[in-house]
Structure 1
């Protein structure tokens, strides 16, 4: 099997899995317990928190462990909007966000918030001029995905941050689930207020993620109970998951530039190859992350191509794993105004650092065979 669906999930790194098992075996006490064993476990938890804070360039008390990207995104949308609602109740969300952002934002409307949607161009890049027009004195929160999970489009976060700072008092949250470990992500680089990261996208374990805030930013909890995670995320913290997440993040940051070059090489090679087919359209923007390539075959359903490739041992996906089992057309592709001839046939190839040129060459051979059998117009 050749696995090219790494934006859906990644294989757990052996060192991360080993960390998880070791912590479970040796530090299984409740970190909130006051006995020595609990104290030792809590020290390990705080060490993981500090490691992540150092990577993201914030304070350790601004790193909150969650169950993953969806919870972190929900916490960011609800927690920040409610904490700063005295500034206003106007929220801006891009049209191409993950459902965990879009659905949370819609729920804010039930609490009296007004949500407006930032449009994108045909390459899936937010329109900064539209942001300038949409921002208001009562805008409290702006949330934009750093790298789109379906197309890989990199959003101009630095430029967006400057506009938001100059024209409003709004906070800026980014979903960095698809960007961390592929491109540079930290508070100094991007000048945002909140960052979401999911462990299983970077060879960590499922069920673990973080929401990190910039220094001095506050947030309201959305879960209530024993007051863990500084009162922001109640529930006994899984120390094994937290420590293994920190391990996955450290490994992801090792030789980041070298990994980028290798992923970009695979991506460029694949794009060049796909462009040799007259009925194939590259959906991904030229301004994209190196690990995601979305393309479509004219008038051929994506599911047909996926099944044909899978029979030959190649694993890819339609545009998003979160919606791939649904029949409705991707909201991202609609926002990009992809033509009817191509919108049903979009495939996403997503690499990880474990993929090789040899695997890509095999993909090319298989894809050519499949295209000879399944003829697009």
Structure 2
């Protein structure tokens, strides 16, 4: 029986053609893109071509794409770079209470440095409160940062509406962490007035250790890394040519398959949700309305049972899920995201995330739901004994 990997929001297996392309580039185009000789020029041409491919997918200019080491660096580059570059405009920053750690902790650090930060609340479904945003933004606001899709429980945020609100604040920059959205959900940086947009390749079947930041033409960011001036001076260091080329291929494939992805994952989500709802001990998290939730992520809680116990029990069936964001899954604490949605410690500490792609079938979903029901039945005596000890 084949394993069922349901942790695509943490990382994804690279496409076979992506891996093959990267090997070919490493073997045949090993030059430094900054070198002036033919070997270097060939490598530089590959970087330029990759930039063009990604820009075409996003319908932006190639020169607006900056290559990074992944989503965390892209987020830090956008947030720190904008805050420090435009501090002369004001000292106020706005984000939400449910951002990924690479965003949330960056704002916490900027707050320690003297910036004033507003952390917008969310409702019980995990959606940012737009009225609170309208009240928070002022002439002193340099930057607003809101993720497109919450990486932990899959709530889609109203990015287009936020962009519309910020039109009346032309000096306020808008950053979107789109790591769980690029190639999966429709995003239009121009239409949505997005100034900065982060992406990580390994979330869409590309290589690890590479990503990009869309940076609207005309913006200047304070660099995080100084040196040779690569990436228009924003990120010095020799470009990772094989990874950049692999990422461009993965992005292109994802955009070509986006409609198929949306339709297939919506069907999978429907089956997963049906299976979870059939088990009384489990509680779905997020919105009841499917259109509010990313089709490739389902999140539920098993109150009274430690989430890692359920993870390992499912692993015995060769099924792999996660407890929360992979960047914080080692922390034995209630989820910050679920807490901010108003859930108590019991529910917030025992969440399980299922995430998937085109690679999973409806038969896989059926097998998982059957195994989940069996595992919950198996764990119920232990849960009752644990309650008695309390």
Bin of the TM-score, shorter chain as denominator length: over 0.9
Match of 1:356 in 2: 361
Match of 2:65 in 1: 63
Match of 1:372 in 2: 377
Q: Deviations over 1:301-351 (max 9, x none)?
A: 111111111111110000211111111221111111113342222100001
Tell me by how many angstroms 1:167 deviates: 4.2
Match of 2:7 in 1: 5
Matches within 5 A, 1:135-150: 135-150=137-152
CA contact (8 A) 2:334 2:345 kept: no
**CA distance, structure 1, for counterparts of residue 374 and residue 229 of structure 2:** 57
Match of 1:290 among 295, 312, 329: 295
Match of 1:335 among 324, 335, 340: 340
Range with bigger deviation, 214-223 or 90-99 = 214-223
1:216 and 2:227 are equivalent in the alignment: no
CA contact (8 A) 2:277 2:284 kept: yes
Tell me by how many angstroms 1:259 deviates: 1.2
Match of 2:237 in 1: 235
Report SS of the residue matched to 2:145.
Answer: strand
Tell me by how many angstroms 1:279 deviates: 2.1
**CA distance, structure 2, for counterparts of residue 189 and residue 355 of structure 1:** 33
Tell me by how many angstroms 1:168 deviates: 5.6
Range with bigger deviation, 214-223 or 12-21 = 214-223
Match of 2:45 in 1: 43
Runs of 4+ in 1 over 4 A off after TM superposition: none
Match of 1:181 in 2: 183
Report SS of the residue matched to 1:212.
Answer: strand
Matches within 5 A, 1:102-117: 102-117=104-119
CA contact (8 A) 2:153 2:298 kept: yes
**CA distance, structure 2, for counterparts of residue 333 and residue 141 of structure 1:** 25
Match of 2:387 in 1: none
Match of 2:32 in 1: 30
**CA distance, structure 1, for counterparts of residue 149 and residue 190 of structure 2:** 18
**CA distance, structure 2, for counterparts of residue 203 and residue 189 of structure 1:** 27
Tell me by how many angstroms 1:191 deviates: 2.3
Match of 1:53 among 51, 55, 73: 55
Report SS of the residue matched to 1:126.
Answer: coil
1:318 and 2:323 are equivalent in the alignment: yes
Report SS of the residue matched to 1:172.
Answer: strand
**CA distance, structure 2, for counterparts of residue 236 and residue 341 of structure 1:** 47
CA contact (8 A) 1:135 1:168 kept: no
Match of 2:74 in 1: 72
**CA distance, structure 2, for counterparts of residue 37 and residue 306 of structure 1:** 49
Report SS of the residue matched to 1:362.
Answer: helix
Q: Deviations over 1:40-78 (max 9, x none)?
A: 211111111111111112221111111111011000011
1:245 and 2:247 are equivalent in the alignment: yes
Report SS of the residue matched to 1:190.
Answer: coil
Aligned length: 377
Tell me by how many angstroms 1:222 deviates: 0.8
CA contact (8 A) 1:301 1:345 kept: yes
**CA distance, structure 1, for counterparts of residue 232 and residue 345 of structure 2:** 49
Report SS of the residue matched to 2:368.
Answer: helix
Unaligned runs of 5+ in 1: none
Match of 1:166 in 2: 168
Tell me by how many angstroms 1:355 deviates: 0.8
CA contact (8 A) 1:52 1:60 kept: yes
Match of 1:303 among 304, 308, 312: 308
CA contact (8 A) 1:97 1:144 kept: yes
**CA distance, structure 2, for counterparts of residue 345 and residue 105 of structure 1:** 27
